[in-house]
Amino acid sequence: MKKVVFYVLLSVFLLSSASAISEPFKKNMQASTDYEPLQRHITGYLAQQPGVYGLYFVDLESGQEFGYHSQTIFHAASTFKIPMNLYLYRAAEHGQIELSEQLLFTETHMEGGTGILKSHTPGGSYSIAQLADYSILYSDNVATNILLTRLGKENVKEYMRSLGGQVVDNEQNITCPYDLALYMQEVIQLAKKPSGEKLLDNLFDNLLKDRIPAPLPPGIKVANKIGTWPPTNTYNDAAYVVHPDKPYILVITSENTPGYSAAREVIRHLSELVYHYQSNGTVPASLKQPGTAHATGVCYPLLAGGFYAMINFVQ
């Protein structure tokens, strides 16, 4: 009986969520920037890089947007944790779950890669709120698996579709740059309510800041979630950058890259380029011809707190 009630509530929740979502990236007809030079440079630069990259950009002041391979399918890796947490907090908002509810950690939830619970012995219980924190702050795969047991992977995927997700598959952990930008915009909308501030705060505070945030000026706040999948040399980042004048969303995805170092160089170059364009409206000469990124050095660096930016969420 409880299961039936839950699915009825889920249906109501999805309908109400979908009706409340405004047209994605709705344009503001006020002063706008000409992004054609930036888009042209990005297209030319990415076409030179080994591997396949995707990108989506949204200026949150004007609503202007553009993409590169924006609906190409990429492995989502741990960027999936963004819509999963969106679903979780929306479900809590609608009274479907209690954040204080305790969930049991069993052997079936065990997984390597990022996180801290992998070093804990199964058998303990954790609140949904604590697990949600871990899934973003530490990109904790075990916490994610425990949450999915309670939330239901199919329910999360249906919610992703209700938001307008174009690349959603119940069996595969896949996405596209456009969808990740859509989910990041929903995070910002959710944070306008006190009940939804926590997710955005966690994205600001998460430990994995080696990609889009890395080249930006000190003090610039970035809410982001990376994803890494070594079998396909996939390195992703989805970010909300709080530029002092022109905040924006930037999503970069990849596959078949030469490795972490090369992909990181590409992502950082694009991040620096976009930030400079938001500040000055030009592509600086120093960033116009960065050349081709090649893999160098250690592939998977040890990050703060002892967590590897390596295997992010095996679904």
- pLDDT for residue 252: 99
Beta strands in 50-119 (DSSP E): 52-59, 65-68, 74-75, 102-104
Report yes or no on 50 lying in a domain.
Answer: yes
Owning domain of residue 211: 34-306
Burial (CB count <10 Å: 0-12, 13-18, 19+), residue 134: buried
Report yes or no on 15 lying in a domain.
Answer: no
pLDDT over 70 at 231, yes or no: yes
| Spatial distance between the Cα atoms of 265 and 104, rounded to a whole number of angstroms | 40
pLDDT band at 31 (very low <50, low <70, confident <90, very high): low
pLDDT over 70 at 11, yes or no: no
Q: Are 279 and 245 in contact (CB under 8 A)?
A: yes
- pLDDT for residue 182: 99
- pLDDT for residue 204: 98
Q: Which residues does 119 contact at the CB level (< 8 Å), separation at least 6?
A: none
Q: What angle do CA 179, 5, 9 make, to 5 degrees?
A: 35
Residue range 23-47: mean pLDDT, rounded = 79
Query: Taking all residues of the chain, what is their mean pLDDT, rounded to a whole number?
Result: 87
The structural domain count of the chain equals 1
pLDDT over 70 at 200, yes or no: yes
Sheet holding 52-59, edge to edge: 65-68, 52-59, 248-255, 234-241, 222-229
pLDDT over 50 at 166, yes or no: yes
pLDDT over 80 at 47, yes or no: yes
Integer angstrom CA distances of residue 208 from 63, 140, 227, 249: 27, 12, 10, 17
Residue range 281-299: mean pLDDT, rounded = 59
60-113 pLDDT tens trace: 999 999 999 999 999 999 999 999 999 999 999 999 999 999 999 999 999 999
User: Whose CA is closest to 210, among 57, 60, 312?
Assistant: 312
Report yes or no on 18 lying in a domain.
Answer: no
107-131 pLDDT tens trace: 999 999 999 999 999 999 999 999 9
Least confident of 146-155, 158-167, 305-314: 305-314
Report yes or no on 16 lying in a domain.
Answer: no
Torsion of CA 52, 241, 67, 175, to 10 degrees: 60
Report yes or no on 313 lying in a domain.
Answer: no
Integer angstrom CA distances of residue 224 from 27, 182, 278: 23, 13, 18
CATH code of residue 209: 3.40.710.10
Residue range 235-261: mean pLDDT, rounded = 98
Global pTM reads: 0.85
pLDDT band at 284 (very low <50, low <70, confident <90, very high): confident
Report yes or no on 3 lying in a domain.
Answer: no
User: Whose CA is closest to 73, among 181, 231, 179, 183?
Assistant: 179
Report yes or no on 88 lying in a domain.
Answer: yes
pLDDT band at 298 (very low <50, low <70, confident <90, very high): very low
The dihedral sign for the CA sequence 214, 215, 217, 220: negative
pLDDT band at 313 (very low <50, low <70, confident <90, very high): very low
Report yes or no on 29 lying in a domain.
Answer: no
Instruction: State what percent of residues in the chain have pLDDT above 90.
Output: 77
- pLDDT for residue 92: 96
**Of residues 49 and 10, more confidently modeled:** 49
Residue range 137-164: mean pLDDT, rounded = 98
DSSP secondary structure letter of residue 22: P
